[in-house]
Amino acid sequence: MDVLKDQSLDKYVRDVAAHLISEFPAELVEQRIEGAGVEHFVRNCIDRAGGYGIEGRSDVREYIEITLRMGPAFENERNVSEILHDRTLPGTGKMAVIAAELS
C-alpha cells in the first residue's frame, strides 16, 4: 500500500509516532523532538522518503527509524546518497541496500 496515497495517512502518522515514542525515546530526546513535533517529524520524513521513491509503509517506517537514529544528515553520506538517488532501484530495494550498508 502506498503511504502517500493512502486515505489513512493520519492514522499511519499517529501509529508511527507512537512507535517512535515507545521504541526510541532516547533518540527523540537526542534529536530534540517532543510532543506534536514527533508527528511533524514523521510527516517530514514521509515527504522526504517519497522524494526518493520510498513509499511502501514498511520502507517508509524504516527510513523514519534510520533518520531518527542517525539524524537527517545520514542522507548525505556518500554511499547512502548514491543509493537514495539511484533511479533504477525501487524504494524497497533502496531500503534493503541502505540497511545492509549501515549494519
Residue 6 pLDDT more than 80? no
Under 8 Å between Cβ of 31 and 24: no
Q: How many CB atoms lie within 10 A of CB 33?
A: 20
- pLDDT (0 to 100) of residue 103: 79
Domain positions in the chain are 3-102
Give the Å distances, CA to CA, from 11 to 45, 68, 90.
15, 20, 25
* Residue range 21-68, pLDDT digits in tens: 999 999 999 999 999 999 999 999 999 999 999 999 999 999 999 999
At 1 the pLDDT is 42
Whole-model pTM: value is 0.89
